[in-house]
Amino acid sequence: MKFKTVLMTIAGVMMTGAAFAQEAAHTAAASGGMDMAGMGAGIGLGLAALGGALGQGRTATAALEGIARNPAAADKVFTPMIIGLALIESLVLYAFVIAFLKIR
């Protein structure tokens, strides 16, 4: 729990810095400096992929443990698990699209 709090705090600080530095990013990019919008998009995309992978892993683990404890419930667990995995994956894809729109 403490690791998640620290990770989210670091991510928030990094993303706010990139968001407020948009004007500086345009002038820095024009002068050949570092592009803060691109860096913020890359960090955001990496965090989205990390969160999606952790969510998918926990979903699959919980579903498999449930099926292992009660094999008769496999049909009732499998469909909601697949729907949950699809929704988690769609959130990561939305982050991917937003990251590319931001750096463009």
Over residues 86-98, the pLDDT tens digits come to: 999 898 888 888 8
Q: From the CB of residue 71, how many other CB atoms can be counted at a distance below 10 Å?
A: 8
- Does the domain at residues 2-103 carry the CATH identifier 3.40.50.1010? no
Reported as a single tens digit per residue, the pLDDT across 6-46 is 566 666 655 555 555 555 555 555 555 556 777 888 888 88
pLDDT of residue 1: 65
Of the candidates 102, 88, 38, the one whose C-alpha atom is nearest the C-alpha of residue 59 is 88
Q: Tokens 């345009």 map to which residue?
A: 26
Mean pLDDT value across residues 76-92: 91
